[in-house]
């Protein structure tokens, strides 16, 4: 075999060995590992001093690997325009470019800071081609061998593996983001607290999309302005009270039109509300804005008309890595749809709850109106009961039901005759027997209402006594619910301190003397002391104290001044 044949055979053997190494590298599905091994192989073949690898993303190229200069590894992730200098010519040519004197080449931009610790003399710039399209580029600096045929062959061989690994990584990222979104939606649906809901939405919108900040605007129906309700990011406190005038800004456009808007450079978009940046000091570069759209939910089976409307807008600001893409749009739209629906349900719940409480207040006022001497009694008892429960550290849910039950505790008096209810003196035994029926009547009236089942013990047990001497069932001790024991103390305190036809209201000191005298037999001692603590702290006031305050508020300023002068004299 001739020397020429031996050289060819040797070269063929070397090429096959390099292809085997390339195949081994290609078996890796981890993108970072694949990039680093691929760059190392080409540096070795070219006997280059250093190298860089770029991947194409949209209109940019991302520095994805650096070898030969540890200091330059800090630049990994940096972006530059795809049209920049030598890389642009490499992509345009679709073939390797050899630059022997790099410093003299106008296409090389040394200000980017790449490979500062390497004396750069020459470079071989290789496009990574997949089906004729550039997916990246490799630059080999100061190579000994710059015959590019084998290098380009290996680069193209690896390009398809790079793209597969990148697609796999994106699929994993998409799956992780989708799983996170499902978890977020589940959390959103677990609360109807508006403030907590908005904070959850914005925190996760920023986290899911990888942005510097995010903001949620809700429409003010009266002015048409957009009011910033929640924001996330380092500057959120500076923009807590921001309003965007009606129809202005990208947020205003999105809310009015219902369109999703993606702006990669807000300086080129006239809709950007620059005053927001001036007020916050936050430099907005890019925005993804989606509408909060929902359908009006109507109560009642006969009201089947649905009207879709926009209640605000969510903005994601300044993508940290890369630019906003279709996945980001889909994620934020999905989150916004769920958020808008739950916000509408939360509003509906609040409206229904307010209506429910208004009806209860109206019913209670009607009961109190039957007896002018007990006007405001039910409301005061509810306030006393809530104060006791708060001092006992009861849960918010328990206090909510206690408040309603205490307001309704005397609802059964609607079934007591006016002759008994309005009698100015003491009741006869028969009349008192009729009066004792009001807890049972109250239970009968409200017992079939499903939403008031937790309030029923308060209504039927507020006249029970610890020693079993109460009515209507003669319950003893712990057999009486905590709500019943609390309301018994609150009811007795108001009865003792309020004026009645047959006597004037007694002083607070006498009221507590009587309550403490009955502690352990009639009343729960812990409830009595909890009421005393609330009263001593100024959290509750008696009927007479409230009347005195109202009279003081209504007294003319001059009269108050004269009264003060006389008192001083």
Domains and CATH numbers, the chain: 28-105+113-167 (3.30.450.40), 189-349 (3.30.450.40), 370-560 (1.10.3210.10)
DSSP H helical segments within 81-147, as ranges?
A: 85-93
Q: What is the pLDDT of residue 240?
A: 57
Please state, in angstroms and rounded to a whole number, the distance separating the CA atoms of residues 304 and 6: 88
Distance between start and end Cα atoms, the chain:
133
The first and second tokens of residue 517, run together, are: 């005298």
> Residue 354: CA atoms inside 13 Å, Cβ hemisphere, count?
6
Q: What is the pLDDT of residue 8?
A: 57
The first and second tokens of residue 34, run together, are: 């694949």
The first and second tokens of residue 546, run together, are: 């409230």
Q: Decide: helix, strand or coil at residue 205.
A: helix
Q: What is the pLDDT of residue 182?
A: 73
The first and second tokens of residue 452, run together, are: 């008031």
Please state, in angstroms and rounded to a whole number, the distance separating the CA atoms of residues 532 and 512: 8
Q: What is the pLDDT of residue 234?
A: 64
Instruction: Report how many helices (DSSP H) and strands (DSSP E) the chain contains, helices first.
Output: 19, 12
**Residues ≥6 apart with Cβ < 8 Å to 294:** 308, 309, 311, 340, 341, 343, 344
Radius of gyration of the chain (CA): 39
Please state, in angstroms and rounded to a whole number, the distance separating the CA atoms of residues 88 and 289: 32
Please state, in angstroms and rounded to a whole number, the distance separating the CA atoms of residues 400 and 422: 31
Cβ atoms 385, 403 nearer than 8 A: yes
Cβ atoms 420, 444 nearer than 8 A: no
Q: pLDDT truncated to tens, each residue of the chain (569 aa)?
A: 566 655 555 556 665 666 667 666 766 667 888 888 888 888 888 889 999 999 988 778 888 889 988 877 878 888 888 887 888 899 988 889 999 998 888 888 777 667 878 888 999 999 988 888 888 999 999 998 877 787 887 788 778 888 888 778 777 777 777 777 777 767 666 666 777 777 887 888 888 888 998 888 988 888 989 988 888 876 555 555 688 898 899 999 999 999 999 998 898 999 998 888 887 778 889 999 999 988 665 555 444 455 678 889 999 999 988 788 888 898 898 888 877 777 777 777 777 777 777 777 777 777 766 665 667 888 899 999 999 999 999 999 999 999 999 999 988 888 888 788 777 777 888 888 888 899 999 899 888 888 789 999 999 999 999 999 999 999 999 999 999 999 999 999 999 998 876 678 899 999 999 999 999 999 999 999 999 999 999 999 988 888 777 776 655 544 333 333 222 22
């Amino acid at each position: 075999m001739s020397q020429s044949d031996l050289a060819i055979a040797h070269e063929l053997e070397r090429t096959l060995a390099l292809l085997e190494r390339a195949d081994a590298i290609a078996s890796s599905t981890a993108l970072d590992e694949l990039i680093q091994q691929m760059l190392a192989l080409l540096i070795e073949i070219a006997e280059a001093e250093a190298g860089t690898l770029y991947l194409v993303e949209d209109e940019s190229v991302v520095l994805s690997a650096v070898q030969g200069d540890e200091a330059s590894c800090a630049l990994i992730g940096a972006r530059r325009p795809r049209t920049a200098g030598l890389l642009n010519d490499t992509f345009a040519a679709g073939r390797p470019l050899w630059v022997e004197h790099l410093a003299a080449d106008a296409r090389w931009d040394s200000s980017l800071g790449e490979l500062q610790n390497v004396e750069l003399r020459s470079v071989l710039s290789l496009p990574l081609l997949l089906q004729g399209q550039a997916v990246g580029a490799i630059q080999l600096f100061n190579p000994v061998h710059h015959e590019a045929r084998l290098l380009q062959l290996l680069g193209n061989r690896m390009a398809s593996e790079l793209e597969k690994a990148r697609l796999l990584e994106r699929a994993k990222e998409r799956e992780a983001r989708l799983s996170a979104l499902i978890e977020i939606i589940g959390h959103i649906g677990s609360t109807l607290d508006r403030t907590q809901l908005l904070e959850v939405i914005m925190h996760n919108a920023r986290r899911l999309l990888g942005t510097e900040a995010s903001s949620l605007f809700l429409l003010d129906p009266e002015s048409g302005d957009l009011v910033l309700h929640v924001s996330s990011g380092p500057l959120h406190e500076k923009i807590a009270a921001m309003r965007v005038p009606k129809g202005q800004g990208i947020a205003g456009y999105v809310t009015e039109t219902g369109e999703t808007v993606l702006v990669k450079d807000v300086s080129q978009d006239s809709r950007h509300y620059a005053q927001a940046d001036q007020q916050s000091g936050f430099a907005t570069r890019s925005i993804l804005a989606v509408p909060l759209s929902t359908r009006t939910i109507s109560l009642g089976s006969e009201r089947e008309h649905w009207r879709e409307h926009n209640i605000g807008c969510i903005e994601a600001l300044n993508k940290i890595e890369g630019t906003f893409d279709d996945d980001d749009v889909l994620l934020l739209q999905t989150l916004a749809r769920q958020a808008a629906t739950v916000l509408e349900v939360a509003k509906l719940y609040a409206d229904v709850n307010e209506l429910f409480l208004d009806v209860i207040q109206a019913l209670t006022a009607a009961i109190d109106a039957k007896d002018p001497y007990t006007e405001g009694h039910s409301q005061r008892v509810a306030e006393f009961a809530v104060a006791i429960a708060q001092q006992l550290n009861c849960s918010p849910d328990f206090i909510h039901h206690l408040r309603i039950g205490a307001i309704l505790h005397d609802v059964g008096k609607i079934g007591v005759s006016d002759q008994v209810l309005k009698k100015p003196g003491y009741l006869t035994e028969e009349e008192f027997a009729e009066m004792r029926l009001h807890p049972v009547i109250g239970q009968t009236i409200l017992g079939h209402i499903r939403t008031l089942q937790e309030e029923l013990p308060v209504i039927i047990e507020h006249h029970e006594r610890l020693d079993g001497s109460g009515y209507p069932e003669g319950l003893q001790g712990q057999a009486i619910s905590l709500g019943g024991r609390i309301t018994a103390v609150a009811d007795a305190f108001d009865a003792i301190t309020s004026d009645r036809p047959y006597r004037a209201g007694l002083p607070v000191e006498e009221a507590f003397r009587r309550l403490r005298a009955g502690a352990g037999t009639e009343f729960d001692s812990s409830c009595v002391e909890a009421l005393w603590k609330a009263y001593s702290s100024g959290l509750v006031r008696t009927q007479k104290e409230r009347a005195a305050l109202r009279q003081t508020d209504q007294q003319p300023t001059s009269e108050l001044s004269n009264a003060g002068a006389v008192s001083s004299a």
